[in-house]
Structure formats: C-alpha cells, structure tokens
Amino acid sequence: MVNHENPMTKYIELENIGSGGFGQVVRALNNATGGEVAIKKINLQGLRRKQLTLNEIMIMKRCRSPSVVNYLDSYLLGEELWLVMEYMDGGTLSDVISQTHLSEDQMAAISRECLQGLDFLHLNHVIHRDVKSCNILLRTDGSVKLGDFGLSTQLTPEKSRQCTVTGTPWWMAPEVVMRQPYGPKVDIWSFGIVGFEMVEHEPPHWNQSPASAKRLIATGGTPQLRWPKLVSALLRDFLSCCLQTDEERRWSADELLQHPFVTSAKPACTLAPLINSVKK
C-alpha cells in the first residue's frame, strides 16, 4: 500500500503546519515539480493506530473528489508513516471562524461545498465521523474541502451501521454518545454543529468537559442559538434540519443541498477574499 522510495530525497520540508495525537503535519516542496504538498507524519506504534492509518489510506485512495483533500502518496519510514496530500494554502475553517465574522452568504457557500463532500462520501458508503471546523480545509482560490479521514469508516452490506463511540465530543450526534447503531447522518449533525461554530464562533457546550458535553448532547435535545434573532429564518431552518435528534427526521446531505439556504449560495470563488484576508 505504500511507496518504497525514500521520501526525503523527493520532498524538502518547509515548516510544521499542525500537530495532534497522531503526530505532525508539515508543508513540503516536491523536488521534481516544485509544487507544495502537505505531509502528515503518523506514528504507527500500537495496533489501533496501525489499523486507523491503514483505514485512512484506503479511504483516501478510493475517495477522489473535488470536495475532498486529494491523496497523493504514502511512505513508510520505520514506525512512521508519511501520508502525502495536496496542500490547502488557506488554512482551516477554524482559523477563519476564530479571526472574523462570517456573513450568511459566506456560510451558505461554505455549507454547499462541505455538503457536496459529505454527499460524495455517503454515496460511497463512507462516514467521516470527525466533521468539525478544523477538519474543513481551504484554499486561497476559495476552494473548501473535507480533510482528515483518520476516524472515518467504510460501511459494507454486512455492516451498514456502526456502534463505536468515535469523534470529538462537542460535535458528536446523540446516537453516537448514547452508543446506538448509527449511519452517515451522524456527519450531518456534526456539520450542523459547524453551522453553530460559524454563527457563534464555538460549538454548544464548549465550556464543558468532554464527559459533560456528551451528557448534555444525550439529554439536551436540539441545541439552541444564544441570539436566534440575529440570524435569518432561513439559516435557523437549515440548522434545524441538520440538528434533528431523531436520525430519521434529520435531512441527508443530498436533501440539504436542495435547501433554499444552500441553493441561494454564491460560487466558492467568492470566498477567496475572505480566506486571503484571514491568511494575511
């Protein structure tokens, strides 16, 4: 599954652009093309980490879409796996949310791009399971793509539901925290929470511990905006369609792409000035 060449002869590392429990992400230059790439360096120690990484490579290789961060190659250096991906030069949606106030037009364009990615994954029977603003990546041309498939899972005819409690607590759907069997619509709930982030700059229960947040998600019903009158009725309705506690009543990505809030969205290129101003 991996390239046996030495990546150190192929790429020049430029800077560290992120880190997490898995390891680090660096920006690098491809010697042959002069193009920039992102390299996710994953420490493979531990069987679970190996399984998750194998899963991530398989899903990224299979799921090629303009709405998903593009996988390029992978290399093994001892106990470290290098996952080479396209470099998203605009940072993350989380950066934008923390530094500026989004207009509803901008929220609508971002929502459409993300939902196109989720619709593509769900049609291919993949659940992302970690949709949040820091896993939504941007380019300075206005592109918006889903990234980080480290917790994703591939559904099969034999296993069309999952029960594992996986994800980041504040973005988890009620059925996940309650350990009920779940399907792709958990990603829709998580994206509804991203909608909250875009409006309020943080998810509901952000000031709570992970355990308390999970308890409140399990018992609190649909989260409510703190200042609902400051947003349009259309956006409130869109968030309500994402955040139905009953999975059956929650809209799918395909249905949400038909929602008036999304169908009125401007082209993604209109996001370029916003992304560039935040990057500067």
CB atoms within 10 A of CB 248: 6
DSSP letters spanning 225-258: -SSGGGS-HHHHHHHHHH--SSTTTSPPHHHHTT
Beta strands in 104-193 (DSSP E): 126-127, 136-138, 144-146, 153-154
Active site residue 130: yes
Which member of 119, 130, 148, 187 is catalytic?
A: 130
Distance CA 135, CA 204 (A): 18
> Is the alpha carbon torsion for 248, 250, 253, 257 positive or negative?
positive
Sequence-distant (≥ 6) Cβ neighbours of residue 270 within 8 angstroms: 105, 106, 109, 142
Catalytic residues, which ones?
130
